[in-house]
Structure 1
Amino acid sequence: MNFRDIVPAAAWQDLVARGRRRSYRRGAHVLRQGESAGSVIALTEGIVKVIQVAENGETLTLTLRGPGEVLGEMGAILDRRRSATVKAVSACVGHVLPAHAFRGYLDRHRLSSEVYRLAVDRMQENERLRADFVRLAPPARIARILAHLTKEIGRPVEDGVLVELGMPREELAAMAAMSRSSAVPVLSGLQAAGVLTLGRGHVIVRDPARLDIAAGGSGEPASGGV
């Protein structure tokens, strides 16, 4: 579920219309962790990844977001610096709105409570996922991450659901708190079982129901906010 899913269609269109259209090439920084939250971006095309950088310089990809998402909303609402970096996984189009204008937009459409609820839901989902990683076996961890990404950014295609990852296998493995050497056999096993097909920078999930079963049955998503 993203921002567009929780607001009326007219409210989403109003947000897009008020923003300044901007294109981002693949690999470009859309938002940077630590910078002032002076604007929000309504994403209308493409996929982005949300990354957090630790004090020791290590990076972790938290999640991927797709069209219909608003990026940087909590920083703008709370007047805090960005808590994560957002990079374009594919060519993207966003509509940039100043933070003060976004706050006025929320008041005008009476959407503040919905935005907070979405943020809290994602935080709780993330906490559940991290707790599950303590008890889940490695195969279920990678399946859980893939199940989340399928629901978050999956796009139906003729032979399944296309998930544009735009990241190397070791980065996907790190999302599941695994090493690349541990994740690759799991991915190969899921492919051999006909659950998914691996491609360069993407996967095609052929059987989402079986992927949910491999993930422990629920496919609870991970989350990251900016």
Structure 2
Amino acid sequence: MNKKAGFAFKVNSEITSLFSQYGRLKAYKEGTEIVKQGDYSNYVYIILAGDAEVIRIDRFGNENSLAVMSVGDIVGEMGAFLNNKRSATVKAKTVVKAIECPNQMFIRGLFSTHELTYRIMKNFADRINTLNGQVANHVQARIMLVLDRFISEKIVEDKTVQDIELDLEEVTTQTRLENHKIVEGLYNFKALKAITKLVFPAEINITEVVVEGQNVGDETGEEDEDKVVEVEQASSGKVVLQIDLGRYKDTIRRISYF
């Protein structure tokens, strides 16, 4: 398993030797929890031997594997600064040997090595950058799911490709979404080919839409000519959407997991 953002750096032997002065050596059998999600973060661990798996349990009780950590990796450094509860469980995949270092001693050790301080700062920056993208992705998905409330009620199940009309004022009034957010959501559907064409009323001047964040799903390739039909011009205050029913349902199913 590849490492994900936030689990990307290792300490060298010099740093390991330094922190051995501040902590104690511990050994963990295969399958043993090194840290447990929800427990208080009192210690930082530096892995000296073996592999460990980072696991996060979601709200449905499912175990989600985030990364595999190995020799030179640090476990729990965020807790040393935030004094919070563990956000994930780290479990030994093999026999693991690690230095267990109390938070305050770990922070004291940082003053002795600028290299590790830099690595941890970069590690935090990578995590924040990844989180920013995930948040933007989540926001876009939520907007699309809100729009689905208005789109689904107009869909005819036995028509593969069909035109429907959305009342912008109705959507805005009921959701309090601004027009540009509605437009972003519709263009997200179009980028995923769930909506094959969009026609806006003349009073809305759309030149280009830039959607913030990461893609909320995988694009399905070039537009299929056999799935495109002409749409009528949108009337005032309305948007005409050309729906590809199969792709639309698949898109809603995927973004429902965000």
Query: Which structure has the larger Rg over C-alpha atoms?
Result: 2
Q: For the superposition of Structure 1 and Structure 2, which TM-score range results when normalised by the shorter chain?
A: 0.5 to 0.7
Tell me how far 1:127 sits from its aligned partner. 6.9
What percentage of aligned pairs have identical amino acids? 24
Query: Does the CA contact (< 8 Å) of 1:49 and 1:86 recur in 2?
Result: yes
3-state SS of the aligned residue for 1:135? coil
Query: Does the CA contact (< 8 Å) of 1:16 and 1:42 recur in 2?
Result: no
2:124 is aligned, of 119, 122, 127, to 119
Q: Following the alignment from structure 1 to structure 2, what is the Cα–Cα distance between the partners of residues 133 and 46?
A: 36
What is the aligned-residue RMSD (CA, Å)?
2.6
2:94 is aligned, of 71, 90, 93, to 90
Q: Report the residue type matching 1:121 in the other structure.
A: D
Alignment length (residue pairs): 135
Q: Report the residue type matching 1:55 in the other structure.
A: R
Distance 1:55 1:13, change over 3 A: same
Q: Following the alignment from structure 2 to structure 1, what is the Cα–Cα distance between the partners of residues 118 and 52?
A: 25
The residue correspondences of 1:31-110 to structure 2 (distance < 5 A) are: 31-110=35-114
Q: Deviations over 1:45-69 (max 9, x none)?
A: 0111111112221221111111100
Runs of 4+ in 1 over 6 A off after TM superposition: 126-130
Q: Which structure 2 segments of 5+ residues have no match?
A: 1-7, 138-213, 221-253
Tell me how far 1:116 sits from its aligned partner. 2.1
Q: Report the residue type matching 1:57 in the other structure.
A: G
1:134 is aligned, of 217, 226, 238, to 217
Instruction: Determine which structure has the larger helix proportion and give its number.
Output: 1
Q: Which structure 1 segments of 5+ residues have no match?
A: 138-176, 178-226
Query: Does the CA contact (< 8 Å) of 2:35 and 2:90 recur in 1?
Result: yes
TM-score by structure 2 length? 0.46
Q: Following the alignment from structure 2 to structure 1, what is the Cα–Cα distance between the partners of residues 71 and 219?
A: 31
Query: Does the CA contact (< 8 Å) of 1:75 and 1:83 recur in 2?
Result: no
Ranked by relative contact order (alpha carbons within 8 Å, sequence separation 6 or more), the top structure is 1
3-state SS of the aligned residue for 2:71? coil
Q: Following the alignment from structure 1 to structure 2, what is the Cα–Cα distance between the partners of residues 90 and 100?
A: 29
Q: Deviations over 1:176-226 (max 9, x none)?
A: x9xxxxxxxxxxxxxxxxxxxxxxxxxxxxxxxxxxxxxxxxxxxxxxxxx
